[in-house]
Structures are given as structure tokens and as C-alpha cells.
């Protein structure tokens, strides 16, 4: 673990109280309507500007600067850790800000304030509402010596998709792990069977760029030649060493962990750990078993899938494709359409929440958007490499998030989906009876008993085939 120090959430609250901003934040949040998406962006901007305008008091600033000097100064990573973040039920994966390669006292203090302000980002507020988090927002900030990573990424001490606790899933990339957690590239994926241990699966990714520390000390994006970008990132010994590290972290915390790691100069570092949020109630499928829809049928058509990649969030969903280029276009996605994008960073969360399923060109099963998709019960396929060029807006498809495929949709009979993770069903918006199509039901297989037919928990367009109008 890199050396560092923590600015606790209590310090954030004290500064908001001292400046008078705390009462104003509480009033604004108390008057917010979670269903009013149109006002969300304006409220988010207003609250972030308010927190960003707070001048950190001399006492706290002196303590931060003193801790930074005792750390040796130089480059640090400044990481957000909100009070509701990284719990067993809410990961807030990638929602709050993290800043890398920060150097100097003034730059550090400014980064701390920007972490605080990220607590009220649009994607954070959307996620809080979707997960039913109602307590007062507060945030700690972790400052660590910056690891100038040769290679880095994420490791799960259990399979986050199948729920198999006998397997460790590691994803890896060259340079900083931001390209993996942000879904910017298709990372290497390694699966380690704990019995042995032995390497069970190796999938080589495609990386067209990496992020490194530039000559000026700032993050720099370097284009990788195909030979380098298509090379295997980790050797067998390194994979097994990381698996052993992750297994020890799980043993320490007593539950499966989602970790971030980095390698600098041949030495491995653990830079973050949090509980895996989607194992409770997850399907305990056998490794390599074919995925099935909630109705028990294979999602692939006889002609085979249109695109295939990594199954990142289990379940099947049918609907019309909507190809989007950026999160700014999210408003054009209709409830219940299939979101298709080159990548899905956390900025896509407000859109993902309304999608029936997600399919991306890049990304791995450990990227932040995949984690959020699993939490929200939205089937997700990542790393297809060509979904945005093969699939077309308006095309009817069926997405199988367990098998990692999108196929031609045989009919407009609706959609079948797996039982969502705990809490996700209750936090999905329920339409009025007038907006629900007559007789519309979906079959939801319960993990604790037989399947039941429930009134559709989404909007009409999210569960039924679109009308001809």
C-alpha cells in the first residue's frame, strides 16, 4: 500500500459549517425532486459551484500541508471516499473525482476542494437517487504517494458476473488504470481458479493508448502501436502473485473485494479496496456454462450473435438500438432502448438507468460502468470492439449480458430479465397506471423461490415493444 494520509469526512462537514455552505446545501437538497431530471443539471452545477467557492480554513490547510511535507512532497494521487461510497450495497464506482499526478501544496489543496465538489456531480446525484441514499452527503479525501505505474488495473476476489467465489478476475492494462476503470480500452482479462491456484482463462485485450506521467508531470495520453497495444500485459507469475494478494485482502476484510492495483518497477501496490456490491442474490452459475434468459431460453438466435464481447452484467433484454457518441446525447435515448456506445464512463449513469441494456465497443467487466450496470440490474456487454459499427439505431436486438452477446430479436414480445440485485427493483421508477400498457407483466425469477409475474416496474416503453406510432 502506498504511504499517505486521510482528510476525514468530518473535516469536510466542519469546513462547510464554518463557511455557511452546509445550511445552504441542506436547503437546496431538501427541495430537490428526484424525478425532475430537467432540473438536475442546474442543481448539480449550483451545488458544485457553492462547494468550489469555499476557501479552506487556515487550520485545515496547515494540517494538510504539514502531512504532505511529511509524506515527502512530490507527486500524489488525491482520491475521493464518500461516506456512502464503497459499501456492500452502493459502490459509487467512479462517481466522485480522483486526481492523479498532483504536485505542490496549492495544487493539492485545490484538488481536495474539487473532490469535495464532485460530491454533487450530476452522475453522483442520479446514482444516490437510484440507490435510495438519503443521508447528508459527506466525503473524505485520501492522499497517497503517486505510483508511476508501468501496468495497473483492477482485481476482484470473486467473479462479479457469475458470483463464483472460487474464482478471481483480474483485468490489466499498460500505464495508469484509468483506461480500465473508465472503460476506455479493452483490457486483458485473466481468471484464476482458487483451487490450485491455477490460471483458468486468459483473454488478451486491445489497447490503443495508455496514460502515463508526462515530462511536465501531468497525465499524458500516449498512442500505442498495434504490436504493443495487443501484447499480453501480465505474465503467469505476475497473475498468480496478484491473485494471492487479492485473496489476502479478502481474508483481511472477511468478504469478497473489488481492488485496484499498480505495478511500478516490478513491485506491486494495492491502491484501493472495497466490497463487491453485486454478489448477494447473484446467479451461482458454473464457470463457462451457457447463459440463459430469465425465461430459460438461450438469447442467441440460430444465426448467431450480431456482436459478442464480455458479459459484464447478467440478464437478457430486448429492445431497439440507440447508438450514442457521448453522454451529452443521453436525452435522446428513450426508456427501454438498448444503449450502444464506444465506451461508457460514469458520466453515462443517468442514461444507463433508463436503458434496457448496454453494449459497448471497449471496457471490461471491472470498469465502473459495468459495476453500476450490475447494481442497477441492467444487462451489459462490454468489449465487443465493433458494436457501434455493426448495430444501427432503431434495430431490434436481444442482449444477453451473461453470455456477452447481442442478437437479432425474433419478435417484439417484450423482454425477460434476471432478478435485479437487492434494492434495484424498488429504486426503479414506477409509472402510473395510465402510462402502463394494459396487462403488461414481466416474469422475474426469484432467487429464493419460483418465478412470479409482477406488474411491470418500469415505464411502458421500457418493457414492451414500441408501438407503431
What is the C-alpha separation between 200 and 194, in angstroms, rounded? 9
Please confirm, yes or no, whether 368 is among the known catalytic residues: yes
For 99, the enclosing helix (H) or strand (E) is strand 98-103
What is the C-alpha separation between 374 and 377, in angstroms, rounded? 5
Query: What is each CA distance from 186 to 9, 359, 375, in whole angstroms?
Result: 35, 13, 21
Planar angle of CA 358, 243, 159, nearest 5 degrees: 30
Please name the residues in contact with 455: beta carbons below 8 A apart, sequence gap of 6 or more: 436, 440, 441
Query: What is each CA distance from 443 to 277, 338, 358, 451, in whole angstroms?
Result: 24, 19, 20, 7
What is the C-alpha separation between 311 and 309, in angstroms, rounded? 7
For 100, the enclosing helix (H) or strand (E) is strand 98-103
Q: Are strands 267-275 and 307-308 parallel, antiparallel or unpaired?
A: unpaired
Q: Among 69, 36, 268, which Cα is nearest to 150's?
A: 268
What is the C-alpha separation between 255 and 167, in angstroms, rounded? 14
Name the catalytic one among 209, 368, 412, 427: 368
First to last CA, the chain: 58
- State the burial class of residue 224 (Cβ atoms within 10 Å of its Cβ: 0-12, 13-18, 19+): middle
Contact present, 195 and 259 (Cβ < 8 Å)? no
Query: What is each CA distance from 249 to 175, 191, 275, 337, in whole angstroms?
Result: 23, 17, 11, 39
Please name the residues in contact with 291: beta carbons below 8 A apart, sequence gap of 6 or more: 285, 298, 299, 311, 314, 316, 400, 401, 402, 403, 404
Specify the 3-state DSSP secondary structure of 194: coil
Which amino acids are annotated catalytic?
368
Amino acid at each position: 500500500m502506498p504511504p499517505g494520509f486521510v482528510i476525514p469526512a468530518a473535516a469536510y462537514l466542519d469546513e462547510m459549517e464554518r463557511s455557511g455552505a452546509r445550511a445552504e446545501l441542506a436547503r437546496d437538497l431538501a427541495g430537490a425532486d428526484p424525478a425532475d431530471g430537467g432540473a438536475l443539471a442546474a442543481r448539480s452545477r449550483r451545488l458544485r459551484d457553492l462547494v468550489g467557492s469555499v476557501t479552506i480554513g487556515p487550520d485545515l490547510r496547515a494540517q494538510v500541508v504539514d502531512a504532505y511535507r511529511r509524506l515527502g512532497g512530490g507527486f500524489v494521487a488525491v482520491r475521493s471516499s464518500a461516506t456512502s461510497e464503497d459499501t456492500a450495497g452502493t459502490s459509487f464506482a467512479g462517481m466522485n473525482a480522483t486526481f492523479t499526478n498532483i504536485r505542490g501544496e496549492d495544487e493539492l489543496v485545490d484538488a481536495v476542494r474539487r473532490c469535495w465538489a464532485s460530491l454533487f456531480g450530476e452522475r453522483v446525484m442520479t446514482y444516490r437517487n437510484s440507490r435510495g441514499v438519503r443521508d447528508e452527503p459527506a466525503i473524505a479525501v485520501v492522499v497517497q504517494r503517486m505510483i508511476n505505474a508501468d501496468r495497473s488495473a483492477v482485481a476482484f476476489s470473486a467473479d462479479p458476473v457469475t458470483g463464483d467465489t472460487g474464482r478471481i478476475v483480474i483485468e490489466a492494462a499498460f500505464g495508469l488504470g484509468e483506461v480500465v476503470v473508465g472503460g476506455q480500452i479493452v483490457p486483458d482479462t485473466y481468471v484464476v481458479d482458487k483451487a490450485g491456484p491455477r490460471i483458468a482463462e486468459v483473454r488478451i485485450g486491445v489497447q490503443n493508448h495508455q496514460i502515463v506521467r508526462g515530462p511536465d508531470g501531468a497525465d499524458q495520453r500516449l498512442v500505442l502501436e498495434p504490436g504493443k497495444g495487443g501484447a499480453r500485459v501480465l505474465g503467469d507469475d505476475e497473475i498468480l502473485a496478484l491473485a494471492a494478494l487479492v485473496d489476502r485482502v479478502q481474508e483481511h476484510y472477511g468478504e469478497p473485494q473489488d481492488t485496484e492495483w499498480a505495478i511500478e518497477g516490478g513491485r506491486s501496490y494495492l491502491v484501493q479496496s472495497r466490497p463487491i456490491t453485486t454478489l448477494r442474490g447473484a446467479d451461482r452459475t458454473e464457470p463457462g456454462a451457457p447463459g440463459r434468459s430469465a425465461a430459460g431460453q438461450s438469447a442467441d438466435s440460430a444465426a448467431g450473435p450480431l456482436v459478442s464481447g464480455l458479459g459484464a452484467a447478467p440478464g437478457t433484454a430486448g429492445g431497439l438500438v440507440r447508438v450514442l457518441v457521448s453522454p451529452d446525447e443521453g436525452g435522446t435515448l428513450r426508456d427501454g432502448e438498448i444503449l450502444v456506445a464506444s465506451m461508457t464512463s460514469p458520466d453515462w449513469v443517468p442514461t444507463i438507468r433508463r436503458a434496457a441494456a448496454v453494449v459497448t465497443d471497449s471496457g471490461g467487466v471491472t470498469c465502473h460502468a459495468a459495476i453500476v450496470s450490475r447494481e442497477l440490474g441492467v444487462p451489459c456487454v462490454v468489449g465487443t470492439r465493433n458494436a457501434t459499427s455493426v448495430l444501427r439505431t432503431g434495430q431490434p436486438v436481444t442482449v444477453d449480458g451473461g453470455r456477452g452477446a447481442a442478437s437479432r430479436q425474433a419478435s417484439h414480445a417484450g423482454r425477460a430479465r434476471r432478478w435485479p440485485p437487492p434494492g434495484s427493483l424498488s429504486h426503479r421508477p414506477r409509472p402510473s397506471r395510465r402510462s402502463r400498457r394494459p396487462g403488461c407483466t414481466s416474469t422475474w425469477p426469484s432467487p429464493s423461490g419460483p418465478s412470479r409475474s409482477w406488474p411491470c416496474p418500469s415505464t411502458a416503453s421500457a418493457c414492451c415493444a414500441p408501438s407503431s406510432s
